[in-house]
Chain A
């Protein structure tokens, strides 16, 4: 059966949720540069360009080795394999960005404010990232939203919150004590794929139903594609998946 085509409409409006369950929103961009991505230059550059991100931490690649021999005490060594990037965090700890050699990632932790604020900050930091070396080709662009639905009881019906649920066996009445469901979906007519994960995280006050939507696309050249347009399309997909997957009961919790 041929797949139905999808028409992305970035102008479509979705309900604004006063208590959106978004626990993290992330933009991740894998790309390469020929420029030298040196620790001193990047650290100094970020310090002067991003004073609102006072916590800056250099990331290093390390290799740990343990030697075990008969009649000998085990010994361990850690080898420093050099600079891998810098992670910066805003004063309130809600914005985290990774400036890696081949990876830029920007996370907004809860509370999520709005798409406009999130996207605009991601693009601003991306421009800072590109100032350390021009990026002409992107290997992967990802937009991920992790939602946490807090459920008051540890025993609950997933179907009360999500439209698609694991099915019980008709002739064997087993009770579910956990699940981890991962789908990877492609979008007909568009270069996008989506990882969708539904799982339950234990909690002291009941349970947390996680609904994780990660929209991504493969390689493209930057002059040929506007990152912001692509992100807007990916956001539409994320919203369609989210609002199409939650029940009215769940929606009422977020309004």
Chain B
């Protein structure tokens, strides 16, 4: 068996919504934050499900890395789309439910939180880092676009709370 490891799966994402710095101190802070976050994520109890979702994301993106991956002319998942999707997943606050991962014919990666047919949230990640979302929470429908810049959007936290309520 050949095992292919794309190092981009271990890419660095801003751990929170932070202004980029260039000094040694800025790099030290980023490293410390990353280390602490990784320590929590490596636990089975808290971080295990996120790790599974990251693997699923890698598998899905790999399966759609070439054009026409579905036999019907689908667009390939670009590196930028994968990078944004990875960082979006990485930003998911621990304790929130972990989504399932999919891919669309236009090359966007999708995350879906599905509780039942009338309680779902779907988020599509584009190459530009746009997060197109649609939610159905009982009779309430909500959709729109958020721009991902490092933090898991508050709007999604609130929708997930409603979804799980």
- Please report A residues at the B interface, Cβ cutoff 8 Å: 23-24, 26-28, 30, 32, 61, 63-70, 72, 81, 96, 98, 102-103, 105, 107, 109-110, 139-140, 142-144, 146, 148, 180, 182, 184, 193, 195, 197, 199, 201, 208, 210, 212, 214, 216, 219
B107 nearest CB across to chain A (Å): 15
A61 to B3, CA, bound (A): 23
Residues of B with C-beta under 8 A to A140: 17, 149
* Contact B17–A146 (Cβ < 8 Å): no
Extra 8 A-B pairs, beta carbons < 8 Å, given A140-B17, A148-B25: A23-B25, A24-B21, A30-B147, A63-B8, A65-B4, A68-B5, A69-B1, A102-B129
Q: Is B165 an interface residue (CB 8 A)?
A: no
CB of B21 within 8 A of CB of A98, answer no
Q: How far is the CA of A23 from the CA of B147 in the complex (A)?
A: 31
Q: What is the total number of residues of chain B having a CB less than 8 Å from a CB of chain A?
A: 30
Closest to B36 in A: A180
Instruction: Give the distance in Å from the alpha carbon of A23 to the alpha carbon of B23 in the complex.
Output: 7
Task: Identify which of A67, A81, A146, A184 contacts B16 (C-beta below 8 A).
Answer: A184
- B19-46 vs A: 1/0 string, CB under 8 Å? 1111111101100110010000000000
Partner of B21, one of A144, A148, A184: A144
- Asked if A103 contacts B20 (CB within 8 A), the reply is yes
State in angstroms the CA–CA spacing of A253 and B8 once bound together: 44
CA distance A195 to B14 in the complex (A): 13
Residues A65 and B18 in contact in the complex (CB < 8 Å), given A32-B128, A139-B147, A212-B29: no
Say whether A70 contacts B1, CB under 8 Å: yes
Contact between B32 and A214, CB atoms less than 8 A apart:
no
Query: 28 A-B residue contacts at CB 8 Å?
Result: A23-B23, A24-B22, A24-B25, A26-B22, A28-B19, A30-B147, A32-B128, A61-B80, A64-B7, A65-B6, A67-B5, A98-B20, A102-B129, A105-B22, A107-B21, A140-B17, A142-B18, A143-B19, A180-B32, A182-B16, A195-B16, A197-B29, A199-B29, A201-B28, A210-B25, A210-B28, A210-B29, A212-B29
Inter-chain CA distance A140–B153, complex, in Å, is: 13
State whether the Cβ of B139 lies closer than 8 Å to any Cβ in chain A.
no
> Which one, B8, B19, B28, contacts A105 given CB within 8 A?
B19
Chain A residues with CB below 8 A from B141, complex form:
none
Main secondary structure of the interface of B (DSSP, over half): mixed
B79 contacts chain A at the CB level, 8 A cutoff: yes
- Set A28, A69, A109: member contacting B3, Cβ < 8 A: A69
User: How far apart are the CA atoms of A148 and B24 in the complex, in Å?
Assistant: 11
What are the residues of chain A within 8 A of B4 when measuring CB–CB?
65-68
A180 close to B21 (CB less than 8 A): no
Interface residue from A24, A65, A199 paired with B26 (Cβ < 8 Å): A24
Chain B residues with Cβ under 8 A from A65's Cβ? 4-7
Closest to A69 in B: B2
Residues of A close to B22: CB separation below 8 A: 24, 26, 96, 105, 107, 109
Which single member of B3, B7, B18, B128 contacts A214 (CB below 8 Å)? B18
